[in-house]
A and B are shown apart, each in its own frame.
Chain A
Amino acid sequence: MIELLQNLGRWLTSGAQWSGPDGIATRLLEHLQYSLLATLVAAFIALPVGLLIGHTGRGAFLAINLSGFGRALPTVGLVTLVFLASGLSMWPVYVSLVALAVPVIVTNTYAGMAAVDPEVRDAARGQGMRRHQVLLQVEIPLALPLIMTGLRLACTQVVATATIAAYVSFGGLGRYVFDGLAQRDLVQVLGGAVLVAILAIALDLALASVQRLLFRHRPRPSRAA
């Protein structure tokens, strides 16, 4: 066990391991690229949908249940399915990562919007605000903490799952996991897994700081209450 950890430490810190086309630096960048692109695309799809059903209150039942269905999709199955349909390309990877992230963002955005106090909404309308003003100046700011939580959750899940790019011969940190398993190189498998975990935590912390920056002018909930 100790020996394994020592080997893992050496693997993670050796300069040779970090450089070259198979190096950690390249794989980390690939992983980051897959994850961020998939999360961004998912956000572009999911945020408008969540906002719309939250704002209008219509279609919530359908959207939430579709999201539940989406969450239940096995990612590897989806990758294989899209692979067989589209051939060897990044499509299977992106389709399944986006499909993984969309439900989380939709449900959280909707939940944030639904939690806005109807009296606040009425008051805004009573002051003569138009619908889009209510949405942009009242509802979204109030729903933002939950929306951000959805984005952070989606991002973490996507980073953890982007390892499947290696399943269909592409790069990213999953390469170490799949190659290590194939070569029965436990250190490589662990190294890949540890890097994925570190990347997921780091991205989550980064998004948390963004969230804090966004809310720095806002009183803390404890004081507001």
Chain B
Amino acid sequence: MNRRKLLGGLLAGASVPTLAACSGGVTSLKGDGSGGEGGGSSAGGLVIGTANFTENQLLGYLYAEALRGAGVKTSVRPNLGSREIVIPALRQGDIDLLPEYQGNLLLHFDDKAPQTQAGDLQNALTVALPTGLEALSYAAAEDKDVFCVTRETADKYGLRSFTDLKKQNGKLVFGGPAEDKNRVVGLVGLKNRYGVTFKEFKALDASGPLVKGALKKGDVDVANLFSTDPDIEANGWVILADPKALIPAQHIVPVIRSAKADTKVRKALAKLGVALTTHELARLNKLVDKDKKDPDEVAANWAADHGLTKK
């Protein structure tokens, strides 16, 4: 859910713990002789790491289920930390597989990358990822920044896309996290690419209770939320279209150590990616965040329901 947290941690200090101290489980798994095709071998089992927020943990468990269904042994290390921690852990081989987000992952390796569309991002990732790591097929599901309005606001001003916002220049109030004021995926991009200006900017939180409360009450007209936020659908909020692809795509993409990526793993994760839509991911987020279900159980049930594992 809180994808942006992955970018944080810079101010929190530069210490990057190696995870060697907490190795367990997987080392005892013996190879079964299969594998070797597709570049690597999953025979020794995979360690799946996840970042420190709900959605990423859910994805980690979903990967585990999909791989289990394909007969690959896995263990999950949830909640490791921000991208500044999980990527080095992956490079060092402390973990083998990580659920990631296209746009932000690319920016982690190339902060000037201009790509915003899913296909371009995937190609750019193949180039940008360090040797030994690769991005597998991306999922239908996407957790990206979306700019939303309420149904009433959409009808009142005839708002369907960012282009429509221009006709209301200087009238609407925009709410989002503080960084939206000065970055391209925010007010700067809306102004430069779409010529949109707002009456006021309210610095609130990132798809959290403040900005959603303010949108609901009409204190802000346009709110920056995340596409897998279940409240968007629950409230019937309208996601404004982005015809000029200002906001980078953030499809869920598995990043794996090439040494572990064989055909079995590639196919299992691709199959998961086909079944997992943004709507489904939002629903799963809600089960964990709002209904307080355990993420591993939610993942196991979903995988069984979608034929990824046997019931």
Point out residues on A near B: beta carbons under 8 Å.
80, 83-84, 87-88, 166-169, 175, 178-179, 181-184, 186, 189
Contact = CB atoms under 8 A, between A and B. Distances in A.
A88 B217 contact: yes
5 contacts: A83-B209, A83-B210, A169-B202, A178-B203, A179-B178
A120 to B, nearest CB: 52
A179 B183 CA distance: 12
A84 B213 contact: yes
Contacts of B203: 166, 169, 175, 178-179, 182
A181 B205 CA distance: 12
Contacts, number: 45
A196 to B, nearest CB: 17
Interface in B181-208: 181-183, 202-204
A168 B10 CA distance: 23
B204 A169 contact: yes
Nearest 6 pairs between A and B by C-beta? Answer: A88-B219, A182-B178, A182-B179, A169-B202, A87-B217, A84-B213
Contact of B209 (A80, A179, A181, A189): A80
Nearest to A88: B219
Nearest to B219: A88
A139 B217 CA distance: 50
Contacts of B182: 183
A88 to B, nearest CB: 4
B220 interface: yes
A186 B214 contact: no
Identify whether the interface residues of B are mostly helix, strand, loop, or mixed: mixed
Contact of B220 (A80, A88, A182): A88
Contacts of A83: 209-210, 213
Interface in B7-45: 10-11
A168 B179 contact: no
A80 B205 CA distance: 11
B11 A186 contact: yes
Q: Which of B179, B204, B210, B214 has the most CB of A within 10 A?
A: B210
A168 B11 contact: no
B230 interface: no
A4 B71 CA distance: 53
B99 interface: no
A181 B179 CA distance: 9
Nearest to A189: B11
A83 B220 CA distance: 13
Contacts of B181: 179
Contact of A181 (B11, B202, B213, B214): B11
A182 B177 CA distance: 8
A166 B177 CA distance: 11
Given A88-B202, A169-B203, A183 B11 contact: no
B209 A183 contact: no
A182 B10 CA distance: 11
Nearest to B213: A84
A175 B210 CA distance: 16
Contacts of B178: 166, 178-179, 181-183
B186 to A, nearest CB: 10
